[in-house]
Structure formats: C-alpha cells, structure tokens
Copies of this chain bind each other. A is one copy, B any other.
Amino acid sequence: MEEHYIGVDLGGTKILAGVFDAEHQCLATDKTKTKPEEGYDAVCSRIVRAIRAAAESAGIDPAKANGAGIGAPGSISSDESQVLFAPNLDWRDAPLKADLEAQLGCPVWLGNDCNVAATGIHRLELEAKPNDMVSIFLGTGIGAGIITNGVFLTGATRAAGEVGHMVLDPDGPVCGCGTRGCFEALASRTAIFNKVKSAVDDGGELTPMLEAGDHSVTRIRSGKLRRAIEAGDPLGKQVLDETCFYTGLAIANLCNLLNPEVVALGGGLVEQLHPFMLPKIRDAALERIMPGARRVRIMATTLGDHAGITGAAILAHDHA
C-alpha cells in the first residue's frame, strides 16, 4: 500500500496544506486564510478543511494517511502535542494534536514552523546533512531554525531561536516587541513597508514602486517589491539594500556565535528577491565573519514556500 504524509504550514495569515508520498514528493496542495481572529476552533476547522481539499486533489482519504505534521508559529511542548505560545494566533497551551487527530482520524505531530521548514531544507536540499546550520526566514516577520551539534536548538524553556529580536542597532526603529533596533524592525517586509511609508509621509515623491500598483502604501507584497526593483525604482533599491545590509550583519553575528556550515535563507522576501539580495547579503556577512568561521555556505532555499509543508510532512514521516 502506498504511503502518504500530510504537511501543514500554519501561519498567522495563511494555511498551506500538502500531501506527500514516501519520497517527500508533493502530490497536491491547498491554501486558505487563517483568520486567527475567529478563534482556535475556527482555525482548527480551517486546517482540517485545507487538508481535506489537498487530499481530495491527490485522490486520497486523509483518515488513511500515515500521519500529518503541522508547523505552527510558536513554541511547541516537548511531547509535540501542544502549541504553548503563539502570539500571532493569540494561542496559549492549545491542544492542537489531540483536536486535529479527532477530526482527521490520522496521527498528528506538531513542530515549530521555522524548525519544520529548516527540516525540509536540511533533508531535501543539503546532501552533506550539516551538524551546524542556521535557517532564516524573512517575511512579514523574521524567524529561524537553528541546528547545533546535530540537534535543534530549543533552549531551557523552548523559546530559543528568536533571531528576529536580535538587536542590531540600539538607535534603530521600534520593533513590534517594544525594543529598538531588532533585526525584524530593520529588515522584515514590515520594516520595508514602514520605511516606504515614512518616506512618503515625509513628503517624498511617489516612486514608480508605488505608482506601479495602487497609490496607497497599505500593502507592499514581496512580488511588488521585486517588480519595482526590476524597473529600477530608487526607493525600492534603497530599502532592499538596507534589508540586505542588516541581514548580512545578522548572519555575521550568527556565524561568529554558532559557526554553522550552512546559512539557508527562505521566506517570501527571499523567494521573490534572492537574485538581488544574495550577493549583497554575502558581502555584508563575509566582511564581518571571523576567519575561523568564514567557510560557510550562504544560500537561498529553492523550496520556496514549500519548505514548511515539506518539512512538516517529513516530521510526520519520521514519527509514523
């Protein structure tokens, strides 16, 4: 009988579900909005609905799948059954494993979203299976999955890996967490949006980046930023250069601290913009990495937004 594994990437904005075979090949996916404001039970139902839609596309019965893995945006209990704390979903001690198992009829395992995506990259993209690896995901926020001595770094209270809240400039802009100059406040898509918005608020001209789409600056998706860069937009180039500089700085700090073999970059910004970003990020990083740690491969994942669902399916595969 054929084996099937379900992988889910549960984000603050969207839910992506995929069905995979035993060789980690994706057979079908489904995407839906998360709508966390509707509450925990509604989000659980939406996860189940996305899984059922993906399973239907793949022509399988989800109850007969060998297992499902869920990458969730928060800290996960050590028995992989509960989401301990997920600020973007406003969840605390959510018994997601039991609730999904009851609705799906197959076994479910939980993982932190960044760790799960890092697992996808580690298993599918990296032949050498490095013992020391950092994966950084640049999107609305900034997260990371860190492997040291061959295992995921969890920390004493399962709160490790908050790369996005590494202070890189104590005089920098205020972050969502309240601290000034966090990496996330300097280099996330939210930071890019804030910089463009304040340039316009300061009386700056509407640049081609903004004129190309709507004239408001309420949303700047990564794809729009890419098209602006391709069109030679000066404001777009400036904010992207700053993002690359701080990302390089963060990578240098992580390399000097953790001395990884590989730094893998993912997330929406990187997926859309890595040809522009990678050379600048590498320059800013390598200039600051100590000689002993400089033999590091800084790469962009080719899995794109499938890194999360792939890693989640691998989580299920490893446990089932």
Using a CB–CB distance below 8 Å, which chain A residues touch chain B? 75, 85, 130-132, 146, 148-149, 151, 153-163, 165-171, 177, 179, 245, 249, 252-254, 256-261, 287-288, 290-293, 295-296
Residue of B nearest to A259 (CB): B155
Indicate if the CB atoms of A293 and B162 lie closer than 8 Å.
Answer: yes
Indicate if the CB atoms of B170 and A249 lie closer than 8 Å.
Answer: yes
A56 CB, min distance to chain B CBs, angstroms = 38
Residue of B nearest to A149 (CB): B151
Chain B residues lying within 8 Å of A167, measured Cβ to Cβ, are: 168, 249, 252-253, 288
A148 CB, min distance to chain B CBs, angstroms = 5
Q: B130, B153, B171, B259: which contacts A149 (Cβ < 8 A)? A: B153
How far is B158's CA from A261's CA once the two chains are assembled, in angstroms? 11
Q: B153, B159, B170, B292: which contacts A157 (Cβ < 8 A)? A: B292
Indicate if the CB atoms of B163 and A257 lie closer than 8 Å.
Answer: yes
Chain B residues lying within 8 Å of A161, measured Cβ to Cβ, are: 257, 259
A187 CB, min distance to chain B CBs, angstroms = 12
How far is B200's CA from A312's CA once the two chains are assembled, in angstroms? 60
A67 CB, min distance to chain B CBs, angstroms = 26
Indicate if the CB atoms of A290 and B165 lie closer than 8 Å.
Answer: yes
Q: B159, B245, B287: which contacts A179 (Cβ < 8 A)? A: B287
Indicate if the CB atoms of B249 and A159 lie closer than 8 Å.
Answer: no
Indicate if the CB atoms of B258 and A179 lie closer than 8 Å.
Answer: no
Q: List 20 A-B contacts (CB under 8 A).
A: A85-B291, A132-B156, A132-B160, A149-B153, A155-B293, A156-B260, A156-B296, A157-B295, A158-B259, A159-B292, A159-B293, A160-B258, A161-B257, A162-B293, A163-B257, A165-B290, A168-B170, A169-B169, A169-B171, A257-B257
A257 CB, min distance to chain B CBs, angstroms = 6
Indicate if the CB atoms of B149 and A290 lie closer than 8 Å.
Answer: no
A251 CB, min distance to chain B CBs, angstroms = 11
Indicate if the CB atoms of A158 and B287 lie closer than 8 Å.
Answer: no
Chain B residues lying within 8 Å of A291, measured Cβ to Cβ, are: 85
Of the candidates A146, A163, A165, A296, the one having the most CB atoms from chain B within 10 angstroms of its own CB is A165
